Amino acid sequence: MIKIETCLTPEILSLHQLEGKIAVVTDVLRATSCMVAGLNAGVNSVIPVIKVEEALEYQKKGFITAGERGGVKVEEFTIGNSPFEHMQEEYHGKDICMTTTNGTVAITEAKKTAKEVIIGALLNVGTVAEYLKEQNQDIVIICAGWKGNPSLEDTLFAGALIHRLQDQAELTDDASFMALAQYQQANGKVADVIQNYASHAKRLSGLKAKSDLSFCAQEDYCSILPILNGEAITIKKN
């Protein structure tokens, strides 16, 4: 049986033992959805960093820069944190360096100790589940949340993933049961639940990015598996 635990916010990541385990990091709104959508469309790789200054160093080396502060594109960057920007044809084959408020921080923390880091979003949840079934190793699902707080959309991703794995998995913490229950309660209407109850829905509405929400809330939009290789996230080939 695969042992699954869920970390609902990176603030408590130190309570989880990541050594020897696969970490699945998610930030449904919007960092990991941008990565999945961009890589699926043809982006070559994404390097996640924490600071704007780090991204600007990559920009000097020819990287496309992406991300936000306060949900808004950093002025010097090429693009912001909308999946539609990351999917544009002009970035196909390009390498992106990305920094966001929550998502790239969670990925950077996970890579310090996890055996492997997988990038998950609702967009590719089924493919992540299939890969994890094949690996048959213990998993920690890390939700980026929002500024240290848990978020509904990332918890729903955790529940969607656990739902797909539950026949082969043992849930080892209450957070995993809570995430599964939340997903089951959504009863196929994940997008509506996020739209109606998630605080991030209100923030995106204020940023005039409502279409990002409906895009990111789609389950199984694509079937790619982004994995962290050293510094860069690329699509895992079979």
Least separation in angstroms between residue 154's CB and ligand L3UKIRZJ is 9
Q: Which of 7, 8, 23, 29 binds ligand L3UKIRZJ (CB under 6 A)?
A: 29
Residue span binding ligand L3UKIRZJ (CB under 6 A) among the ranges 12-20, 98-106, 107-115, 165-173: 98-106
- Per-residue HEC secondary structure of 173-202 comes to CHHHHHHHHHHHHHCCCHHHHHHHHCHHHH
> Which residues, 137 to 166, sit near ligand L3UKIRZJ by CB under 6 A?
144, 146
Residue whose entry in the numeric block shows the structure tokens 């918890």: 155
How many angstroms from the chain centroid is the CA of residue 101? Answer: 13
Q: What is the largest CA-CA distance in the chain?
A: 48
Reduced to 3 states (helix: H, G, I; strand: E, B; else coil), residue 55 is helix
Q: Could you write out the DSSP letters of every residue in 84-148?
A: HHHT-GGGTT-EEEEE-SSHHHHHHHHHTT-SEEEEE-GGGHHHHHHHHHHHT--EEEEE--BTT
Q: Which of 10, 25, 27, 107 binds ligand L3UKIRZJ (CB under 6 A)?
A: 27
Q: Residue 30, interface with ligand L3UKIRZJ (CB under 6 A)? A: yes
Site string for ligand L3UKIRZJ, 187-206 (x = CB under 6 A): -------------x--x---
> Which residues, 43 to 72, sit near ligand L3UKIRZJ by CB under 6 A?
68, 70-71
Interaction site with ligand L3UKIRZJ (CB under 6 A) = 27, 29-31, 68, 70-71, 81, 100-103, 144, 146, 200, 203
